[in-house]
Amino acid sequence: MSLLASLARGAEIPVFAAIGAGGLAPVETLRRRPGLRLVDTPRHARVLLVAGEVDAAHATALERLHAQLARPRATVWWRAPRLFDRGEIADGDDPTGAIRRAAETDEPDQRPDLPPHPWEGIGPHGQGGMGMMGGTPYGRPMAMTAEDIRDGLALDAYRARFGPFLPMLPPGLALDLTLQGDVIVAAGVAAPPYPQGAESDAPGPCAARMLRLMGIGPRAARARGALAALPRGSGMRRRLAAWVDGARVDETPRPLPDALPGRDWTGAALWLASFAPSRLRAACLKPEAA
């Protein structure tokens, strides 16, 4: 054990970044910082980094995320006001010191220790259920059948709030999705993406974000070949090609509730990443303005 502990002392600190307003570009600078490693899920992380201002409406979501880090865990607020009274504060360009300090500490859950629904002791076996699928076994109801938009097979629909801090979606975007398998059959925007600085709309970072979803690094020589991975004639391919060539893309996407249904999860994530963050935000805000 002591051997493991002494080996682990030099390890990189896995950090999950919850990105708020203006946090996208600063977090990109952390990707190659030695001593840190940005991870895609809080389960892999030691430290929750809140980068950029998160509005109070998302405080509960942030607390849920915080609770999903395994203990010991810690929070760092980078250029962000605290939404709960824990963790380190970092203001400058480099949060590494604050992250290192935080990685020595531990924080308890911010959320009360309650199941999503009461279930214990309910039902014939105390599992929370009634009959085959009824009730809330182990705290949640089971998925139930619903109509499908593609092949008409009525199988189970999975309904959930995705985001606002999912790494494959634009930061701040929260979607209420209904999925059949991995195909989106209904979508609603619960919260628009956060405003990001103008540098996030630049071709380089945009291409890099999209290519990361496709599993490769941003070097241009390869990126040309990556175009072949996207369906021919698709808007995604055209926009990625423009970014790889260094051109800006100013297209505004169709409203998400119209555009997302019918896409599979991978296609939807790539489609969302194929628009500049400011354009996507505009498309999510428009219905409210109208």
Partner 1 sequence: MTEIAMPLVLVLLAVAFAWGLQRLGPEAGATWPHRAPFLGGGVPQTHAWQRWHARYYPMTLLFIAFEMEMMFMYPWAVVYIETGTKALAEMGMFLGILSVGILYGWREGVFRWQ
Partner 2 sequence: MIAATLYLLLALPPLVWAAAVFDRIGTGRGALLAGPLRNGAALLLRPVAPTEAPDRLNRLLAPGWYLALALVGLSVVPLAPGLVASDLSTGLVLWGACEALTVVVVFLHGWSPNAPFPLLGAYRYVAIALPAMLLSMFVLIGAALPAQSLSVGAVVEAQREVWNLVRQPLGLPLFMALGLALTLRGPFDYAGGAELAGGTSAEESGPALAAWRLARAAMLVAFSAMAATAFLGGYLGPVLPGPLWLLLKTLAVMAATVAAGRFFARMPPARMLTLLWVVLLPLSFANLALVGIEVLP
- Give the binding site for partner 1 (CB under 8 A): 18, 41-43, 58, 60-65, 67-68, 70-71, 109-116, 137-145, 148, 150-151, 153, 155-156, 158-167, 169, 174, 180-183, 264
Quote the tokens at residue 175: 């979607």
Q: Is residue 89 a contact residue for partner 2 (CB under 8 A)?
A: no
Interactions with partner 2, residue window 193-212 (CB under 8 A): 211-212
Contact present, 13 and 99 (Cβ < 8 Å): yes
Interactions with partner 2, residue window 242-281 (CB under 8 A): 264-267, 269-270
Number of H helices, E strands in the chain: 10, 8
Q: Is residue 70 a contact residue for partner 2 (CB under 8 A)?
A: yes
Quote the tokens at residue 115: 């199941």
DSSP H/E element including 186: strand 183-191
For residue 182, give Cα distances in angstroms to 26, 82, 159.
32, 36, 12
Q: Total residues at the site for partner 2 (CB under 8 A)? A: 52
Contact present, 79 and 26 (Cβ < 8 Å): yes
* Residue 212 site contact among partner 2, partner 1, none (CB < 5 to 8 Å, cut-off depends on kind): partner 2
The stretch among 19-27, 84-92, 224-232, 251-259 that binds partner 2 (CB under 8 A) is 224-232
Torsion angles phi and psi, residue 23, rounded to 5: -95, -10
Quote the tokens at residue 11: 């390890």
DSSP assigned state of 84? S
* Residue 97 site contact among partner 1, partner 2, none (CB < 5 to 8 Å, cut-off depends on kind): none
From CA 172, how far away is CA 256, in angstroms rounded?
Answer: 14
* Residue 233 site contact among partner 1, partner 2, none (CB < 5 to 8 Å, cut-off depends on kind): none
Helix (H, G, I), strand (E, B) or coil at 110: coil
* Residue 211 site contact among partner 1, partner 2, none (CB < 5 to 8 Å, cut-off depends on kind): partner 2
Applying CB under 8 A, which residues contact partner 2?
A: 4-5, 7-12, 32, 34, 37, 39-41, 43-44, 46, 68, 70-71, 116, 137-140, 158, 160, 166-168, 181-182, 211-217, 222, 225-226, 228-231, 264-267, 269-270
